[in-house]
Structure 1
Amino acid sequence: MNDHDAAGPSPSPEHHPDGVPKFDRRMLESLVCPRTQQVLIYDADAQELISRAAHLAYPIRNGIPVMLVDEAREID
């Protein structure tokens, strides 16, 4: 038995009740809007990162933020 086996299985990521992986909020500290370089706001209900400065909402898919302007939706 090696050290890896003794440690047991790695923990699985947390999920929403619908089975979608949760976004790790610690990641938000490192992310900025690719268009404006401004901070983002996490919308847990919509699973999006909001850039108020750019009026864009970046989707979070399977717990991974999609930080592409072409994939973002415009918001008012």
Structure 2
Amino acid sequence: MDAKLVEIIACPVCKGKLQLDREHNELVCRFDRLAYPITENIPVLLETRARRLDPDELPG
């Protein structure tokens, strides 16, 4: 995933900044505790496809 793209993409729910989680191949919104999958190098920014994160799963 291109770092420049990660800088300009926003969470579709709160419009906040997303963080790249390379280990799980996801974009994470820390505020909403949602992880959006990246499929074939394309972020899937649909709330219905996001998974809810437990507080201990949030990347540092």
TM range (shorter): 0.7 to 0.9
The offset of 1:48, in angstroms, is 0.2
1:37 aligns with 2:15: yes
Cα distance in structure 1, aligned partners of 2:32 and 2:41: 22
Letter in 1 for 2:20: Y
Mapping of 1:1-76 within 5 angstroms? Answer: 23-76=1-54
SS in 1 for 2:20: strand
SS where residue 38 of structure 2 aligns?
A: strand
What residue in structure 1 maps to residue 57 of structure 2?
none
Specify which structure has the higher proportion of strand: 2
Distance 1:47 1:26 in 2: 16
Root-mean-square deviation (CA, aligned residues, Å) is 0.7
Q: 1:5-63 CA distances to partner (integer Å, 9 max, x unpaired)?
A: xxxxxxxxxxxxxxxxxx11210111010001110110011100000111100000000
In structure 2, stretches of 5+ residues that fail to align are 55-60
TM-score norm. by structure 2 comes to: 0.85
Runs (4+) off by over 6 Å: none
Q: Report how many aligned residue pairs link the two structures.
A: 54
